[in-house]
């Protein structure tokens, strides 16, 4: 069996993971969904092939690595799903990929040098996902500039933003005066920290404006799919029949909306994050264990 030099992954595993991510990315961009057959197929292939190889070679660690990867994928997928960061399709895909990649350490005595591919892949997903999300938001703002500008003017005049901006200006002014007075490393670090808070604050304001102005729209109930995020409570005859949740609408709730003859609802269109998984997957092979060089 051919083994990659950098990571303990077979060639067929790498190819299947890459092809699966390409297919999932196309589905995610076009339909905002990742088909369950793809994610469940990855799990079935990973466990089935690992079991066959375990029996053939007599090495129990093969199936154990796959099961550990599956367990880690389930934990991460559920965490990101129930905190509203990913949709159900994203979480299922990560579970399938985690089972396929598995979790193994070739040489535990080498410390940071032996960080498994799966962990590096997860770290790269978080980093690439953050940059990808910002770029996606910028593109959305440009394509919907008129709506974005109106929402931005309203948001920037809101009481919460004005108060936060005043507090940050006071903090920055104090940190700058402290830097001039002491000229120490600590004061410079404090000043940079406050500047970072400024940047993160305006990044949060920008993303929240994009979400409200460019990613909220009304759709027909018949066009809703499982996992879509409904923004406002649905009311019928002065009674709330459906409340927004972080995990999105369920099939049972879809049936409830149709039962009450609800025609349209307001939803938040999610960011198609699967392409960032594909980018992170490729970068993990290109960059290798970059943490090793960072921590030297």
DSSP string, 68-81: HHHHHHHHHHHHHH
Domain boundaries, position 247: 216-268
* 207 and 152 both lie in a single domain: yes
Domain presence at residue 65: yes
Residue 248 has which token pair? 């999105």
How does 57-79 read in b/e, with b if 16+ C-beta sit within 10 Å? Answer: eeeeebbebbbbbbebbbebbee
* 100 and 15 both lie in a single domain: yes
- Largest pairwise CA distance in the chain: 72
* 154 and 232 both lie in a single domain: no
Domain presence at residue 289: no
Please tell me the distance from the alpha carbon of residue 219 to that of residue 224, in angstroms, as a whole number: 7
Q: What is the pLDDT along the chain (296 residues), one digit of tens a residue?
A: 333 444 456 788 888 999 999 999 999 988 888 999 999 999 999 999 889 888 888 888 888 889 999 999 999 999 888 887 788 889 999 999 999 998 875 444 444 456 788 888 999 999 999 899 899 999 999 998 998 999 999 988 888 889 988 988 888 888 888 888 887 877 787 778 888 888 888 888 898 899 888 888 888 888 888 778 888 888 887 888 888 887 778 888 888 888 888 888 888 887 888 999 999 999 998 887 777 666 55
Contact between 140 and 295 (Cβ < 8 Å): no
* 197 and 224 both lie in a single domain: no
* 95 and 42 both lie in a single domain: yes
Tell me if residue 230 falls in helix, strand or coil: strand
What's the N-to-C CA distance of the chain in angstroms? 33
Number of domains in the chain: 3
Domain presence at residue 124: no
Domain presence at residue 17: yes
Domain boundary among 104, 125, 150: 104
């Amino acid at each position: 069996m051919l083994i990659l030099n950098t990571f303990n992954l077979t060639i067929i595993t790498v190819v299947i993971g890459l092809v699966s991510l390409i297919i999932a990315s196309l589905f995610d961009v076009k339909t905002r969904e990742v088909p369950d057959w793809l994610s469940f197929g990855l799990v079935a292939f990973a466990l089935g092939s690992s079991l066959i190889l375990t029996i053939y070679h007599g090495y129990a660690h093969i199936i154990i690595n796959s099961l550990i990867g599956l367990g880690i994928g389930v934990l991460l997928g559920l965490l990101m799903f129930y905190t509203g960061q990913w949709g159900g399709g994203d979480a299922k895909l990560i579970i399938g990929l985690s089972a396929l990649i598995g979790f193994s350490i070739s040489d535990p005595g080498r410390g940071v040098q032996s960080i498994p591919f799966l962990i590096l892949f997860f770290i790269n997903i978080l980093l690439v996902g953050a940059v990808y999300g910002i770029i996606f938001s910028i593109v959305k703002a440009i394509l919907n500039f008129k709506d974005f500008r109106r929402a931005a003017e309203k948001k920037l005049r809101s009481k919460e933003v004005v108060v936060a901006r005043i507090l940050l200006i006071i903090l920055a002014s104090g940190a700058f005066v402290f830097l001039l007075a002491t000229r120490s490393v600590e004061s410079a670090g404090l000043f940079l920290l406050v500047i970072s808070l400024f940047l993160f604050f305006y990044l949060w304001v920008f993303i929240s404006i994009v979400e409200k102005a460019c990613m909220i729209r009304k759709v027909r109930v018949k066009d809703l799919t499982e996992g879509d995020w409904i923004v406002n409570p649905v009311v019928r005859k002065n009674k709330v029949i459906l409340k927004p949740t972080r995990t999105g609408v369920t099939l049972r709730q879809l049936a409830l909306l149709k039962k009450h003859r609800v025609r349209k609802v307001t939803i938040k269109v999610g960011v198609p994050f699967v392409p960032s998984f594909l980018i992170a997957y490729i970068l993990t092979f290109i960059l290798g264990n970059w943490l090793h060089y960072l921590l030297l």
